[in-house]
Amino acid sequence: QVQLVQSGGGSVQTGGSLRLTCTASGLADSGYSMAWFRQAPGKGREFVAADTWLGKYYVDNVKGRFAISRDNNNNTVILQMDSLKPEDTAIYYCADRNYFCYDSGCYSASVYDYWGQGTQVTVSS
């Protein structure tokens, strides 16, 4: 049984930093593609970043502020979020895909096979 367990998140003021961690268990191999999505109140689930064997991808409004990384030995994906803004407020979800994805092919939530439980991130002005 595959499980993605998230930790981190919380509340910060504008300009602050937070770190999200997602650890996968039950995977036969390290996730080919692991990603972070977010969902703000009243909005759909939005792609944030992905780390695949083919590259790292970010949505434009987090480039230069967020960094995704992986520790394959521990099946862990990390999202370091710096220079946070109120518009980053959302529930953040990690996701895993059992195959490669490339660039915009990684942006759709529908291509991912497993999901974490979600973590609240709140940025106040």
Q: What is the pLDDT of residues 97-108, one digit of tens each?
A: 888 888 899 999
pLDDT at 16: 98
Average confidence score pLDDT of the chain: 93
Band (92; pLDDT cuts 50, 70, 90): very high
Pairing between strand 114-115 and 90-97? antiparallel
pLDDT score of 109 more than 90: yes
pLDDT at 91: 98
Band (28; pLDDT cuts 50, 70, 90): low
* Number of other CB atoms surrounding residue 29 within 10 Å: 8
Average pLDDT over residues 57-75: 92
pLDDT score of 30 more than 90: no
pLDDT at 85: 98
The answer to whether 65 and 83 have CB atoms below 8 angstroms apart is yes
pLDDT score of 74 more than 80: no
